[in-house]
Structure 1
């Protein structure tokens, strides 16, 4: 069992590093450019959250876990270096958690506190809040540098980090450990649940009041433009905080078992130790899920990702993408035909006679067949001028006639639901499989 969990950890952390690092870098680059459908204040929060998640992956996965798996006994194992890395990891972890709290509070003020909104929800205030939070958390974690002592001396050089025995008995260290545990994650859990509950309550009350004022209770049907304008922000808030709560829940459960079992890990059962490892894996997974949430909830963010892929992908990458699309085309049908056919085939060579083409609506099966012909045409004759291709003209007619607003709305909701579900359910399935 122990070897199995070690193998799962190695595969998981390797995949997390190779996926989480470029995903967070992509989020930082795209969000930093702005114009993603959210306010500059919200953009600043999302950028620093992605940066904090990237630092967690770098300090914990690449510099700590990879050190054990791929390059044992290197300069990273020297005790002072190891101690500094642990302080940086604690600071990055705390910043990742508390930046989520500050973002939740900012959205709470935006939605529920109309008078305070104009003063607090600004780009300048966000910068001050984030800077102050980072500074305070850094100061809080500096004493943890002195938590460790050398485990082995090799040629008068101290190696490895071993927790001092007095860490579990001395009053100073016990108080600091409790403060660290309360600040991450117990207090954040409580604050997120509080802010979300107050936000939901305000939305429900405001919705009922506005419906009565607009006469919807009498059978009239009016669109609430103000609530619709906040819908994107509310969905983004609940997706991020919901993902945080789900993926940190096992660590919170382990903390309460830690209280009842005592401080000595030697007394823990193997089940509890494995439960802790799975909880840590879930906690680290939270560092790469936010970007997928942005892509699921922000249409402009998805569009910028598409533009970036179009500019940066090589021809080999495009052909690989074509192969993947041909596999999934039977499910996504019209959406793939409309978005990716333009991306791979049409945007390089604009159709001069595009306006003169008489668009026609075709059956979905015919859409799929013509789209596959378009992909085959692109792979086989990549250098042919696409303007003269009848397949290109026909796929253009298909793409512009298959837009269904209702299906688009359902697709976004399904993407959001699947993103949150998969990121939480997969580690639990691993847990069940191991035990």
Structure 2
């Protein structure tokens, strides 16, 4: 059990790090800072290209770490044989390292997706998508592959894993309830309450991921079959894209909070933090 808990802690830390990367690189630097400082070093073409790789890798890392943790929990609950071999801190470290390297290597081609938008005094500024990006078969294959690993594959995979886990919990709970009713009658069972909470947690994660990723996935599929894909602020498509990106970034931190809030000790420490300012004022007066 200590070995298993250390593996879970590693997954939780990894999801927290991945979500922080999304908040820093995608939201703070890629949107807020670049918007208010359009002629900063981030606007250089080389920095812009590197930023595209890091931003996409951060989103990929966030999604992949969530899927990896879900697989670990599914195996831990549904298969006692694989639990002792797979759900360990060593396997967790290997999977986390593999996911991290894969997330970065997967989006290296994004560096070559852009070209300088303008050249001022020999300095290349901003990024403009190369014309071959929407016509070349190689770029089309890359778009489908990257979108598949970011949204198309994780979404149904999370649904499948959480459904299997929920089914196993329901069957185990039904058998446990049958055994306890044979001689005891209706008794409040803490284990049943814990399993019911686990089911609610699983469906909350699935529903949150689907709700926040569905707009981006729909627009991504739409963009594959249309050439009317311009970033004109006066068009409704632009507004839909920005909203879908906002929801996608919000999804990066939602699962970590859902997992964390279900932990009793985390809730206790959080309540202590929230109560501390009021306790200080109470003692002062």
Please say whether Structure 1 and Structure 2 have the same fold, judged by a TM-score greater than 0.5.
yes
The aligned counterpart of 1:430 is none
**1:131 match:** 97
The structure, 1 or 2, with the larger RCO (C-alpha pairs under 8 Å, 6+ apart) is 2
The equivalent residue for 1:265 is 229
Name 1:276's counterpart in structure 2: 241
Structure number with bigger Rg = 1
In the alignment, structure 1 residue 239 sits paired with structure 2 residue 175: no
User: What are the residue-to-residue correspondences of 1:293-308 with 2, within 5 Å?
Assistant: 293-294=258-259, 296-306=261-271
In the alignment, structure 1 residue 201 sits paired with structure 2 residue 167: yes
CA apart distance, 1:306 = 4.7
TM-aligned CA distance change 1:45 to 1:241, over 3 Å: farther
- TM-score scaled by length of structure 2: 0.88
Could you tell me how far apart the structure 2 residues matched to 1:246 and 1:131 are?
Answer: 29
- CA positional deviation for 1:142: 1.1
How many positions carry a matched residue from both structures? 282
Distance 1:204 1:232, change over 3 A: closer
* Residue pair 1:107, 1:233 contacting (<8 A) in 2 also: no
Aligned mate of 1:287, from 252, 266, 281: 252
Displacement of 1:114 in angstroms is 1.4
Q: How does 1:116-127 map to 2 (within 5 A)?
A: 116-127=82-93
Specify the SS of the correspondent of 1:287.
Answer: helix
Whether 1:106 and 2:42 are equivalent positions in the alignment is no
Question: 3-state DSSP class of the match of 1:95?
Answer: helix
Structure 1, unpaired ranges of 5+: 1-34, 323-342, 346-374, 382-435
1:126 shift after superposition: 0.9
From the superposition, tell whether residues 228 and 178 of structure 1 become closer, same or farther in structure 2 (CA, over 3 Å). same
Give the TM-score of the pair, scaled to structure 1: 0.59
Residue in structure 2 matched with residue 157 of structure 1 by the alignment: 123
Aligned mate of 1:91, from 57, 65, 85: 57
* 1:144 alignment partner in structure 2: 110
Q: Give the direction of change, closer, same or farther, for the CA distance of 1:267–1:235 in structure 2 (3 Å limit).
A: closer
Asked if 2 retains the 8 angstrom alpha-carbon contact of 1:104 and 1:241, the reply is no
* Partners of 2:45 and 2:18 in 1: CA distance: 24
Shift of 1:237: 4.1
After superposition, the Cα gap between the structure-2 partners of 1:122 and 1:233, relative to the gap in structure 1 and judged at 3 Å, is farther
1:179 equivalent in alignment to 2:115:
no
Between the aligned partners of 1:232 and 1:41, the Cα distance in structure 2 is: 21
2:185 aligned residue (217, 220, 238): 220
CA–CA distance in structure 2, aligned partners of residues 124 and 237 of structure 1:
25
Instruction: Out of 109-118 and 223-232, give the one that drifted further.
Output: 223-232
**Partner residue of 1:190?**
156
Return 5+ residue gaps in structure 2 as ranges. Answer: none
What's the C-alpha RMSD, in Å, of the aligned pairs?
2.8
Per-residue CA distance 1:54-113 (angstroms, 9 max, x = gap): 101111112111233211111111111111111011111001001111111111111111
Matching residue within 82, 105, 109 for 2:48: 82
Distance change >3 Å, CA 60–CA 144, structure 1 → 2: same
Alignment of 1:344 with 2:266, yes or no, is no
Is 1:48 the counterpart of 2:17 in the alignment?
no
Query: Is the alpha carbon distance of 1:53 and 1:108 closer, same or farther for their aligned partners in structure 2, counting shifts above 3 Å?
Result: same
> C-alpha separation between the residues in 1 aligned to 2:178 and 2:223?
51
Which range moves more in the overlay, 171-180 or 200-209? 200-209
Once the two structures are TM-superposed, the CA of residue 214 in structure 1 deviates from its matched residue by 3.5
